[in-house]
Amino acid sequence: MTSIDKIIEDFEFLEDWEDRYRYVIELGKALPDLPDTDRTAQNKVSGCASQVWVVSHPGDGSDPVMRYEGDSDAHIVRGLVAIVLAAYSGKRASEIATTDVIEIFDRIGLVENLSSQRANGLRSMVKRIRDEARGIVSH
């Protein structure tokens, strides 16, 4: 998986939004397919116009390292899933709970160049991941 730092660097290098969208789609294509068994109502992210699934795999301990898998039925959204997973996967639950990747997306101009439905879906995905991490840390 591409690191979030590499994604940001690549985004800043690409000046044209058409190229940036192509890059987002490429990131989505590189995302491993989610098994059908994980495409459940429990893993589905509500608030997304497209179908989006996110599966979390917490490690051990009271502040576990989190690993995520995800998928979408839409090309650009699948790329957004890949970016969110790159930002959060491999981090401790406490760090995820306090890190809002929407700020990163704002910085690279991604949110303002998404349709309002996609931007809302992106926020829903981030909120779900952060809420889950907060729940793990507070127990």
Cβ–Cβ under 8 Å, residues 136 and 64: yes
**pLDDT tier at 15, thresholds 50, 70, 90:** confident
> Rounded mean pLDDT of the chain?
92
Which amino acid is present at 119? A
Task: Looking at the chain, list the stretches that DSSP marks H as alpha helix, in order from N- to C-terminal side.
Answer: 4-13, 17-30, 75-88, 93-98, 101-107, 116-137
9 is an active site residue: no
Question: What is the model's pLDDT at position 78?
Answer: 95
> Is it the case that residue 138 has pLDDT exceeding 90?
no
Under the banding of pLDDT at 50, 70 and 90, the label for residue 5 is very high
| Domain carrying residue 65 | 4-137
Backbone angles phi, psi at 15, to 5 degrees: -90, -30
- Structural domain tally of the chain? 1
pLDDT (tens digit per residue) in 50-89: 899 999 999 999 999 999 999 999 999 999 999 999 999 9
* Residue 137, CB-side half-sphere exposure with 13 Å CA sphere: 17
Active-site residue identified among 8, 48, 85, 122: 48
CA distance 27 to 7: 9
What's the CATH number where 97 sits? 3.90.1010.10
